[in-house]
Amino acid sequence: MYTKFPLKTILEWSLFCLFIFLIFASFLTCYGSGEEGWQSVGMNVADSAENEDIAEKLETKPSRGVIWGKSNKTPVASEKTPAERMPQIPARETKTPPAVLPKTSATPQPLPQLPSAKNTANKTKYLLKSSRKKGSTDLVETLLEVTGDVKQVSADLKESKDKMEVTAGFRYEERISEFSLTDKLVGVRRYNMAKSRMKIGSRTKMPELESELQTIVCSLEKESVSLFSPRGSLRGEQLLLIEDIPGNTLTIDRLLPNKEVGIADTWKISDSVLRSFLSIDAVVSSNVEAVLTAVADNMAIIEVVGDVSGVYLGAATEMSVRAKFQFDLAEKRINWIGMMIEENRSIGHVGPGLDLLAKLQVKISPNTAPKELTDEFMMTVAVKPSSKVLQLKYDGGKGPWRFSHDRSWYVYQDDPQATVLRKLENGELIAQCNVADMGTVDVKTMTSLEKFQQDLITGLGKNFGKVAAATQYTDKRGYKVYKVLLDGTVENMPIRWIYHLLTDADGRQSVVVFVVEAAMLEQFGSADDLLLDTYRMGK
């Protein structure tokens, strides 16, 4: 069930957390004196061939293919030949590639035009079923370009928009470890390119996979896709880089009808396939259909057209999908996909709203002699994840702290003095966590637990109800910890605030507060302790 809390209530949660931080600031003479959304992650870009223009570097054009479909309904092959229905796009001018990723181009990449098919009216049947199997290896090259608007709501409930431009490029070998057309899928990927350039307003971030984490296991089970690196924990933005894109190549064979079809025959793409292929959490409704439009030179051309209403991270999304893909009848494999998605996503609990146009091209080349994923290498890969590698790490953000967290926590805001995370499970907002830097104090004269507790009560004002618990202890890291649990209400909603004031041996202090709706306390459990067990002050 996907529940949306009132936006005003969510903002109240945030405002009260931030208000308490301001209260803390006024008491820095007691606690110490301190110097001193979207997470911005820098990337050092060297002048090398590895950092050339992705659009130039990834030649995702098939030897025979089609360009973007523009029809508003499922095409009928007898109306026109595929060649007649495909408009021409001017050839792209070749330029010397720059040393960094380019801005997104609004024009899709041109592709060679398919030769006119002469058998569009015959009754020949073609078996569209993949020959992919356990042990199969592919070389995959992907280019994603996105333009649009990012929509956010400020604390005064005013909506603002920023322009967004994204260019992302991926190149990897993918070897199938477990394969089924209806059940579990597992693939091992070895990336030699996974990077993007995202510009939102005046802010730019360029996440990429670091070399030691470029081995990725991708699995699909019960409609849910999971990616992890068996070599160590990913950061949140690294997981989104490789997981939050449509066109997952592990799932592409499920677009096929797995039976014989003729020209102009159609089949529905199931909601479960769309969920994994489009990388969304749920499909509410869809009318997406595929049609075999042409066969030429032993290549079958399939068009996919339709609309999808779904849910992504608790936010409603409406998607219009137009795609074409090419099936090699000799190799019995999909070897190219071109897709255009128009999406309108509402503002969610952990992310902004989006109004975008995404253009994706994927080239898939069966590889009988893999360079990376050899038999010897595969023996070193653990395809079943440990709890440690499923954790995400925060160690490269703006705040002077580092920690690990499970995948239900999302970094919502990040700056040098405060980091905000939100916990989301099955589309429901479970809790918010705010981390703040409190500067440095003299450990011999620092404030007492009682004074800390009273300052919190004063800060909550009329929203304070009672003190549920208050304790102090020294943990295994040597941190002195004050922990105070306060109950109260916001907009008549019962809330618990869980405050932790941590002081290390040198007097550095952080405050970590968790805000949980009372009805969610059982589901929240000991999530605060699990996060704080890995918490360290300093970079």
Does residue 396 share a domain with residue 319? Answer: no
The pLDDT, as a whole number, for residue 122 is: 59
Task: Work out the end-to-end distance of the chain between its first and last CA atoms, rounded to an integer number of angstroms.
Answer: 39
Structure tokens at 59: 């030649």
Identify whether 220 is part of a domain: yes
Strand partners, 517: 495
Domain assignment of residue 439, given as a range: 7-36+388-537
CATH code for the domain in which residue 439 is found: 3.40.1000.10
Contact 208/241 with Cβ under 8 angstroms? Answer: yes
What whole-number distance in Å separates Cα of residue 116 and Cα of residue 222?
Answer: 41
- Sign of the CA dihedral 221, 223, 228, 234? negative
Does residue 433 share a domain with residue 353? Answer: no
pTM: 0.78
CA triple 535-11-399, angle to 5 deg: 30
Count CB atoms within 10 A of the CB of residue 327.
25
Identify whether 233 is part of a domain: yes
Does residue 439 share a domain with residue 325? Answer: no
The DSSP secondary-structure symbol of 255 reads G
From 353, 384, 415, give the residue that closes a domain: 384
Residue closest to 105 by CA, chosen among 165, 53, 60, 65: 165
Identify whether 120 is part of a domain: no
Does residue 441 share a domain with residue 322? Answer: no
CA triple 188-108-88, angle to 5 deg: 130
Identify whether 145 is part of a domain: yes
Strands (E), 222-332: 224-228, 234-235, 260-262, 266-268, 282-286, 289-296, 299-312, 315-328
Does residue 346 share a domain with residue 427? Answer: no
From 384, 403, 434, give the residue that closes a domain: 384
Does residue 368 share a domain with residue 323? Answer: yes
Does residue 141 share a domain with residue 220? Answer: yes
72 alpha carbon, distance to own chain's centre: 29
Does residue 364 share a domain with residue 418? Answer: no
Identify whether 76 is part of a domain: no
The pLDDT, as a whole number, for residue 155 is: 65
Does residue 424 share a domain with residue 318? Answer: no
Identify whether 423 is part of a domain: yes
- Backbone dihedral region for residue 395 (phi beyond 0: left; psi -120 to 50: alpha; all else: beta): alpha
Does residue 437 share a domain with residue 372? Answer: no
Domain count for the chain: 2
Does residue 392 share a domain with residue 375? Answer: no
Identify whether 54 is part of a domain: no
Does residue 343 share a domain with residue 476? Answer: no
Structure tokens at 450: 């009682």
Identify whether 368 is part of a domain: yes
> Tens of pLDDT along the chain (539 residues)?
444 444 444 444 444 444 444 333 333 333 333 322 222 222 222 233 333 454 554 443 433 333 222 223 333 333 333 333 333 323 333 333 333 333 333 333 443 343 444 444 458 999 999 999 999 999 999 999 999 999 988 767 788 899 999 999 999 999 999 998 788 899 999 999 999 999 999 999 999 998 899 999 999 887 788 999 999 999 999 999 999 889 999 999 999 999 999 999 999 999 999 999 999 999 999 999 999 999 999 999 999 999 999 999 999 999 999 999 999 999 999 999 999 999 999 999 998 999 999 999 999 999 888 999 999 999 999 999 999 999 999 986 777 899 999 999 999 988 888 899 999 998 899 999 999 999 999 998 999 999 999 999 999 999 999 999 999 999 999 999 999 999 999 989 999 999 999 999 999 999 999 999 999 999 999 999 999 999 999 87
From 355, 384, 413, give the residue that closes a domain: 384
CATH code for the domain in which residue 138 is found: 2.30.230
The pLDDT, as a whole number, for residue 51 is: 35
